[in-house]
Amino acid sequence: MIGRPEPLHDIAHLGSVELLTPKPDRSVWYFRDVLGMEVVHTDAGSAYLRGYGDYAATTVKLTAARAPGVGCISWRTASPQALERRAAAINLTGLGLGWSDGDFGRGPTYRFRDPDGHLMAIYYEEQKYRAPDHLRSTLKNLPMKYAGRGVNVRRIDHLALFAKDVAVNRTFAQQLLGFQLREHVLFDHGKVEIGSWLSPSPVHHQVAYVKDLKGGSGRLHHFSLWVDNREDVLRAADILAENGVFIEAGPSKHNNSQGFYLYSYEPGGNRIEVYTGSYLVFAPDWDVVTWNEQERGMGVYWGGALPESFIAYGTPDVPAPAPAPAPTARMPVFDPY
């Protein structure tokens, strides 16, 4: 084992995700009234929200924009020193955008883009949530009262990003952020990397890169919020249906990640997942799970198929590419989550 570098632990976890929405009021309705999140702060053009189990003051930011999509994706580091180390390393890649004062509830922040163009940030100082009296839980170790409003998601979990070149972005996440690769889908005898799932912690994945078949850049496939039990996901489906929210797929179980999923579109157009299940990865020398076309199938463990929109649609939406050359044309349907 000589020469094998030790695992890097500089990134602690996904800190927050900013979503862009052309219908900010309706998007707030979706996250607050349907998913049951709490609005903790608003400023010009943005609302800041949280799940009852998130320890930080805010984990979701909704920002008015002309088109839907993902804004800044923020990662918390494990220490101030880790922040310095990561910023320095990213700076060398030429993808850095420099330091800023930090968004609401955050200290000094270093911003950069991943190779596909998604805006990201790292920071260490974080304002923890202090619930006002009416939102204080009777459980001392719960940051906020469980209100029993709608789906009542607990916390943010992960996101999936489209990428023109999955391998390049996956490598960036491994080498610059220190993420561990958990599973990937390789087509055409291992030559085409269709999707890769990575994480900085035992959580199965906090980010996935999946092939953008339309050739866009910086696009979002979906953003995912956690509930504790599969029954909560089933209940969520009832609540979404009663509220007229479009359900694209699920509830069902992916083979890859073993995640129990439910995908809907928030009014702004972004694909949102209510999620549970999956599995924790503790092995420091985890053997990456590789799926080929046949093993991957439709991505649904119990059979059935995901709708075509699940492969084609992301935010912002872009026109379909010109007629695809042969290799792309033969690419089977796959399921990036």
Residues 286-305 that bind its own copies (CB under 8 A): 286-287, 289, 291, 295, 301-304
Query: What would the x/- binding string for its own copies be over residues 243 to 272, using CB under 8 A?
Result: -x-xxxxxxxx-xxxx-x------------
CB atoms within 10 A of CB 131: 15
Stretch that binds its own copies, among 42-50, 90-98, 215-223, 226-234 (CB under 8 A): 226-234
284 binds its own copies (CB under 8 A): yes
Distance CA 285, CA 264 (A): 35
- Indicate the residue among 165 and 248 with the shorter CB distance to its own copies: 248
State the minimum distance, in angstroms, from the CB of residue 183 to its own copies.
6
Residue with token string 């999936």:
160
Tell me if 6 contacts its own copies by CB under 8 A: yes
Q: Are strands 192-199 and 60-64 parallel, antiparallel or unpaired?
A: unpaired
Asked if 123 interacts with its own copies (CB under 8 A), we say no
Residue placing its CB nearer to its own copies in the complex, 20 or 262: 262
Q: Are 124 and 118 in contact (CB under 8 A)?
A: no
Q: How far is the CB of 265 from its own copies (least distance, A)?
A: 11
Cβ pair 13, 82 in contact under 8 A: no
Judged by CB under 8 A, which stretch of 16-24, 41-49, 236-244, 313-321 contacts its own copies?
A: 236-244
Q: Closest Cα to residue 114, out of 222, 257, 220, 269?
A: 220
Distance, CA of 318 to CA of 321 (rounded, Å): 8
Site for its own copies in 65-94 (CB under 8 A): 76-82
- Nearer to its own copies by Cβ, of 101 and 287: the residue is 287
Pick the closest to residue 225 from 3, 50, 69 (CA basis).
50
Does the footprint of its own copies cover residue 235 (CB under 8 A)?
yes
Confirm or reject binding of residue 335 to its own copies (CB under 8 A). Answer: no
Query: Rounded to whole angstroms, how far apart are CA atoms 136 and 133?
Result: 5
How near is the Cβ of 149 to its own copies at its closest, in Å?
Answer: 7
Residues 168-197 touching its own copies, rule: CB under 8 A, are 183
Q: Decide: 201 and 307 in contact? Cβ < 8 Å.
A: no
Question: Among all chains, which residue has been given the structure tokens 């890649």?
Answer: 93
Q: By rule CB under 8 A, what count of residues binds its own copies?
A: 82
Amino acid present at 78 = A
Q: How far apart are CB 141 and its own copies at their closest, in Å? A: 4
Q: For the chain, how many residues are written? A: 337
Convert residues 144-163 into a mask of x (bound to its own copies by CB under 8 A) and - (unbound). Answer: -xxxxxxx--x---------
283 binds its own copies (CB under 8 A): yes
Q: Which of 67, 139, 312, 320 binds its own copies (CB under 8 A)?
A: 139
Contact 14, 206 (CB under 8 A): yes
Indicate the DSSP class of residue 132.
-
